[in-house]
Amino acid sequence: MESQSRVTVAPAVPASRTARRPFDLRDVRLGGQLLGEWQRLNREATIPHCIDRLETSGVLDNFRRLAGTSTAPFRGPLFSDSDMFKTLEAIGWEAVRGDVSDFMGFVDEAIELIRAVQEPDGYVNTYFQGPRAGRRFTDLAQGHELYCLGHLIQAAIAWAYAGRTDLIDLALRYVELVHETFGEGGRDDIDGHPEIETALVELARFTGDQRHRELARRMVELRGHRTIGEGQFGGAYYQDLVPVREAREVTGHAVRQLYLLAGVTDLQLDDPGSGYQDALDALWRSEHEQRMYITGGVGSRHRGEAFGDAYELPADRAYSETCAAIANLHWNWRMLLLHGDSRFADEMERGLYNAIAVSTAIDGRSFFYSNPLQLRTGHDHEEDAPSARLDWYACACCPPNLARLLASIGGYLLTRSDDAVQFQLYADGEYDLGEGVRAAVRTAYPWDGTIRIELSAPSTTRIELRIPSWATDVGLTVDGVDHPVPGVGYADVQPGARVIELALGMQGEVQAAHPWVDAVRGSLAVRRGPVLYALEQADLPEGVAVEDVVVPIDPRIEDAGWDDELGAPVLSIPGSARRSRNTGLYSATASTALDDLGSITVIPYFRWANRSRGAMRVWLPTS
C-alpha cells in the first residue's frame, strides 16, 4: 500500500483517486539495459549538449541582452525561451533522482537571468521584451507566450520537487499576470499553441490553488469558437473549429492537438464530472485507429506539421515529429491513469521504442526532428526531412523535450491502484513497492522477453503485469508454479509472492496495414516484440537499391545475432531484387525479373542512420 503522508513525485499526478495513480520516480532506479542506458546517456550526453547549444544558438544571450550583459541581437525562433525552460526541467527531474552539481553553474545562471529580465508585473518573454515591449499578447495565434510560460511552470515544479523553490516563485508571478489578463472577466482569446493548460493543472495540484485549474478549464472551454481565426493554415491547425466536448476527430498541428488533449485529460482526471470523457475516447480512436503510423508516430503532412485524413499515412512523407510522439506518450499516460486499460500502456511502449527512440543517435548528441518510415535513394537532405540526424535545429523543440522525458521516464513505468501495483513498461532495475518490499527486476527487455521479478519480502499487495497486445506466446510462473495468463490486459499475482517470472515470446513477425492505407498496400512491416525493424542500404549488396527489394508474402524471419555497432539484435528475412525490363518511367506493362538475394538483414528502425546516410524503409513490398 502507498503511504498516505508522502507526496508522490512524478509527472502528472492527479488530484483525485483515479483508476491508476503514478508511481514515485524516486522509488525507481533503472539498471544497465536499454532504458537505463538511454537515461544514463541522456544525463551524460544529451543534457550537456542541450546546455552547450543553448549557448551557441543564442538562447542564453537573448536573456543576457535584456539583463544588460550582452549586446547580441535576438536569435532563434520567437519561442526559443522554451528550449531553456525544458532543459531546466530535465535537470530538475535529474535533481529529484540524484546529484546534479555539475549542472548547477548553468542552472544558477539561467534562473538568475529569468529573475533579471522578469518585469514588475511578472511577464517574461525575451522576444516580446526590449524593442518589442509594446507587442506582448498581440499575436496569441503564433506568439507562443503562454506556451513558453507552460514550460516555465513545468520546470519550476520539477525543481520544487527537488527542493528548490526560487523558480516556482518567479513562475507564479507570471501566472498571476495571466489570471488578471485572461481569467474570468478578462480577455476571451487563447494561445495558438496549447501547453499552458496541462501546466496550469499541474500547478494547481502542486500548490493546492484551484484557481489555476479553473483558468485551464476556461482556456479549454474558449477553444473551438473560431476566436483565433484562419491564419496561414486554417482554424483546424489551432484546434479552434469545434469545441473540445464536440470534437470527434484529431485535426491540425499534431503537437498542438496532443498537448491540448493531455491538458483536457488532466482536467477530467481531477474532476470526473468535467464531461470530457466521451470526446477524449473518440479522439483517441480517431488517432490510434486511423491516423497513427505503425511506429507510434503521428503527423502525416509537412504542411502545418499536421494530421491528415483518415488512413493518410505515406511512409516517405511521414512528418512524425519527435515532439508529437512525446506528446502522444504524455496523453496515453494520462488516459492510462483515467481508464486503467493496458492498451494505453501498449501505445506508450510502441511510441517509446520506435517513434521516440529513433530521434536520438547512439551518441546522444544528434537528433531527428521528423521521422519518416522511408528514405529514398538519393534523397536531397532537408532540415525537416533529413537523411541524417542534426546536432541542433533552427526550431530546436525536440532535443530538450527528449531530455526532460528521459530524465523523468521512471515516473511512467509503474502505476498503483487501491490494492495493487501495476508493471506497465518493463525495464531492468530496482523498484521500491512500499511497506519495505523492494522488487529487483532483471530483464534485457525489449530485446529479450524474460522478465524476472525478485521481491525482498513476500508481496503485501497484488501485482499486476501488463500482457502486451503483440504477445501471443506468454508464460508466467509465481514461485516456480505455472500461473494463468489472460489473453489481453493484466496477469494478476496475489499477495505473498517472492519470485515472479514472465516470459513473452520475442520472435520476428510481419504486420500489414489496413487496406485503406494506400501508400503501403501490398507491403509488410517486420516487428520483434515492441520494436519495428527496417531495411537499410548499408545491409544490401553493391548494386542493389532499397527500392529494388521485395520479400515473400509469408516470409520466414530468423534472429541474426547481436550487432555490436548498433547495440541491438538484427533479423534476417528472405528477399529478392527486382530487375525491371522497362526503360521508361511509364510503360504498357510492368514486367520485372527477380534475383534471389538469399537472406537480407533488417535492423531496429530506431537505429537507422547511425552507420550511413543511405536509403531506408520500414514497409517492404511483397513479391
pLDDT tens per residue across span 554-611: 999 999 999 999 999 999 999 999 987 666 888 877 667 899 999 999 999 999 999 9
Does an H or E element contain 214, and which?
helix 210-222
Region 4-26: what's the mean pLDDT?
90
pLDDT at 3: 47
- Mean pLDDT within 51-79: 97
pLDDT average, residue stretch 160-173 = 98
| Region 417-504: CATH code | 2.60.420
Residue 390: what residue type? Answer: L
pLDDT at 231: 78
Nearest to 513 by CA among 283, 254, 293: 293
Q: Which of 285, 288, 265, 287 is nearest to 275 (CA)?
A: 265
Give the tens place of pLDDT for each residue, 588-604: 776 678 999 999 999 99
Nearest to 604 by CA among 579, 581, 571, 556: 571
pLDDT tens profile 414-454: 999 999 999 999 999 999 999 999 999 999 999 999 999 99
Q: In whole angstroms, what is the distance from residue 299 CA to residue 622 CA? A: 26
DSSP for 282-295 reads HHHHHHHHHSB-TT
Which residue has 525544458 as its cell numbers?
86
For the chain, the distance separating the N- and C-terminal CA atoms, rounded to the nearest angstrom, is 56
- Average pLDDT score, the chain: 95
Q: What span, in angstroms and rounded, lies between the C-alpha atoms of 563 and 555? A: 22
Q: Where are the alpha helices (DSSP H) in 134-195?
A: 140-143, 145-161, 166-182
Note the pLDDT of residue 138. 95
- Classified as helix, coil or strand, 204 is helix
Helix 322-339 to helix 277-290 angle, to the nearest 10 degrees?
130
CB 161 within 8 A of CB 116: no
3-class DSSP state of 619: coil
Q: Where are the domains of the chain?
A: 417-504, 508-621
Give mean pLDDT, residues 246-274.
Answer: 97
What are the phi and psi torsion angles at 507 (to 5°)?
-75, 150
Residue 295 has pLDDT above 90, yes or no: yes
CA separation for the pair 238, 254 (Å, rounded)? 10
High-pLDDT (> 70) share of the chain, %: 97
Q: How confident is the model at residue 218 (pLDDT cuts 50, 70, 90)?
A: very high
Angle at 189 between CA 186 and CA 195, to 5 degrees: 105
Q: Say if residue 4's pLDDT is above 60.
A: no
pLDDT of residue 1: 40
- Chain segment 339-376, per-residue pLDDT in tens: 999 999 999 999 999 999 999 999 999 999 999 999 99
| Tens digit of each residue's pLDDT (9 = 90 or more) over 94-120 | 999 999 999 999 999 999 999 999 999
Question: Would you place residue 5 in the very low, low, confident or very high pLDDT band (cuts 50, 70, 90)?
Answer: low
* Nearest CA-CA partner of 123 in 81, 83, 84, 65: 81
* 601 Cα distance to chain centroid: 28
User: How does pLDDT run across 520-541, given as a tens digit for each residue?
Assistant: 999 999 999 999 999 999 999 9
Q: Is the pLDDT of residue 2 over 60?
A: no
